[in-house]
């Protein structure tokens, strides 16, 4: 800020007061303009951050919905396989031939659980450059809840696999069937455990889709969990 000095020394208290007042007003005006520009900058930064976060969360929501659709289709196929083996086991008092079991597993069993790629680059960038502190409280709350839900869902899916261990058990019975040592009841137990794992993943992804949709003001699709 530049303050122009008087061209001559004040000759009276009145003239001194006028010069003093002009200096004070100049300083206050400069400070006010600086504060205004700073506020405008923070407002634009917050708006830009909101747009980036919404774009990232919309992409993540699309990933979650895609994973839900594929996992639900897989769950339906798995239920059909389980029901067919169960029907044969009941009809033959549990004595289904290993080659029959192996044929069904080889043709129809697919071990595949889709997990969405959940990005958080925009959130991490907003934390790093402190853009979050300039964001409206309501916007900060909904974004924070969305990214917290993402982190918790990833932990929940991992916990589902660790707790049940269904995939390793399913591969064991598939190998047993290939070598003629499969038992129908054991195959059904393994399939049932795998279905429980998939059901847990579907439930977690459904809840996440709901949270992301709520944070973005969208409605999450209703996805039914696979039957036991």
Residue 111: pLDDT band with limits 50, 70, 90: confident
Q: Is residue 6 part of a domain?
A: no
Question: Residue-wise over 78-93: b if at least 16 C-beta within 10 A, else e?
Answer: bbebbeebbebbeeee
Q: Is residue 220 part of a domain?
A: no
Span of 38-47, 91-100, 201-210 with lowest mean pLDDT: 38-47
Average pLDDT over residues 57-79: 95
Structure tokens at 2: 């530049």
In contact, 199 and 74? CB cutoff 8 Å: no
What range defines the domain where residue 56 resides?
13-215
Q: Is residue 38 part of a domain?
A: yes
Q: Is residue 131 part of a domain?
A: yes
- What CA–CA distance (Å, rounded) separates 105 from 184? 11
- What CA–CA distance (Å, rounded) separates 214 from 141? 12
Cβ-proximal residues to 96 (8 Å cutoff; 6+ apart), any chain: 85, 88, 89, 184
Q: Is residue 210 part of a domain?
A: yes
Q: Supply the DSSP string of 143-183, one letter for each residue.
A: HHHHHHHHHHHHHHHHHHHHHH-HHHHHHHHHHHHHTT---
Q: Is residue 195 part of a domain?
A: yes
Q: Give the model confidence (pLDDT) of 70-99 as tens digits.
A: 999 999 999 999 999 999 989 988 788 888
3-state secondary structure the chain: CCCCCCCCCCCCHHHHHHHHHHHHHHHHHHHHHHHHHHHHHHHHHHHHHHHHHHHHHHHHHHHHHHHHHHHHHHHHHHHHHHHHHHHHHHHCCCCCCHHHHHHHHHHHCCCCCCCCCCCCHHHHHHHHCCHHHHCCHHHHHHHHHHHHHHHHHHHHHHHHHHHHCHHHHHHHHHHHHHCCCCCHHHHHHHHHHHHHHHHHHHHHHHHHHHHHHHHCCCCCCCCCCCCC
Mean pLDDT for the chain overall = 82
**Predicted local distance difference test score (pLDDT) of residue 166:** 74
- Count of structural domains, the chain: 1
Share of the chain above pLDDT 90, in %: 40
Q: Is residue 1 part of a domain?
A: no
Q: Is residue 5 part of a domain?
A: no
- What CA–CA distance (Å, rounded) separates 72 from 85? 20
Q: Give the model confidence (pLDDT) of 126-137 as tens digits.
A: 888 888 887 888
């Amino acid at each position: 800020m530049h303050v122009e000095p008087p061209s001559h020394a004040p000759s009276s208290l009145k003239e001194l007061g006028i010069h003093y007042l002009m200096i004070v007003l100049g300083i206050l005006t400069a400070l006010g303009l600086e504060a205004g520009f700073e506020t405008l900058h923070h407002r634009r930064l917050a708006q830009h951050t909101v747009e980036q976060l919404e774009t990232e969360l919309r992409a993540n929501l699309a990933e979650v919905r895609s994973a839900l659709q594929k996992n639900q289709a897989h769950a339906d196929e798995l239920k059909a396989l389980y029901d067919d083996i169960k029907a044969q086991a009941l009809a033959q008092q549990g004595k289904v031939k290993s080659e029959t079991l192996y044929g069904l597993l080889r043709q129809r069993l697919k071990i595949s659980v889709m997990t969405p790629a959940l990005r958080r680059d925009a959130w991490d960038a907003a934390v790093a450059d402190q853009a979050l502190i300039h964001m409206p409280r309501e916007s900060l709350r909904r974004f924070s809840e969305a990214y917290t839900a993402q982190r918790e869902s990833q932990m929940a899916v991992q916990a589902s696999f660790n707790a049940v261990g269904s995939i390793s058990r399913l591969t064991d019975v598939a190998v047993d069937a290939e070598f003629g040592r499969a038992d129908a009841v054991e195959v059904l137990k393994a399939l049932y455990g795998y279905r429980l794992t998939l059901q847990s993943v579907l439930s977690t992804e459904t809840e996440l889709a709901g949270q992301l949709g709520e944070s973005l003001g969208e409605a999450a699709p209703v996805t039914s969990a696979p039957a036991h």
